[in-house]
Amino acid sequence: MIKFLQIVSCTRHEGPFIFAVFAFCIFWTSLSGCGYHCAERIESLPPWIKTVYVAPWANRSNELLLGVWITEELRHEFLRGRGLKLVTKDEADVILEGEIVSTSTSGLSYIRYDQAVERRIIAECSVHLVHRESSKVIWQTSNIVREEEFFVGKDVMHTEGLKDEALQKLSRDVADIVYHRITGVF
């Protein structure tokens, strides 16, 4: 490498010298490799966990479809991911169970003290992963809290539609968080 730099530095052209050094550094880095790679964290799961069943979520909130949406989004996460196969309850090594503990809605911005133009919905969830054969809890968390904002519509039906869109986005976020915590926890 030093011999190469001496040969290149003997020339009087500084521009080509800088380019040659830069090209050599790029070439050397690509050969040596830095070891960085984007890998799914499935390797961290115990080897005996190969299949998962996502049970319908319990819902203690007044948002009736939220549990259904989170369950469906979680199933899609496991279908898209690698490593854990989504199967029926009888075939699963582990069962992923979740619960919506609570939801609350509050005003976020107002045009008057009593008229909101934007609202926020907050959902608190708990999740646990259970070994199907022994019913032993392998992993659990009760601190998943997500929030999403939505605008107030011109009438109640429009507002409910906007709130449902916010809840569906919240469902995707919760599913993403749970999936990555499960696949990266062990």
> pLDDT tens for residues 163-173?
999 999 999 99
* 98 and 11 belong to one structural domain: no
Q: Please tell me the distance from the alpha carbon of residue 83 to that of residue 44, in angstroms, as a whole number.
A: 11
Residues in contact with 146: Cβ distance below 8 Å, sequence separation at least 6, in sequence order: 122, 123, 125, 170, 173, 174, 177
Is the per-residue pLDDT at 27 higher than 80? no
Q: Please tell me the distance from the alpha carbon of residue 68 to that of residue 64, in angstroms, as a whole number.
A: 8
* 47 and 21 belong to one structural domain: no
Amino acid at 39: A
What digits encode the pLDDT tens for the residues 99-133? 999 999 999 999 988 899 999 999 999 999 999 99
* 54 and 21 belong to one structural domain: no
pTM for this predicted structure: 0.74
Q: Which domain holds residue 12?
A: 2-32
For residue 81, the model assigns a pLDDT of 86
* 25 and 57 belong to one structural domain: no
Residue 164: both structure tokens together: 């449902």
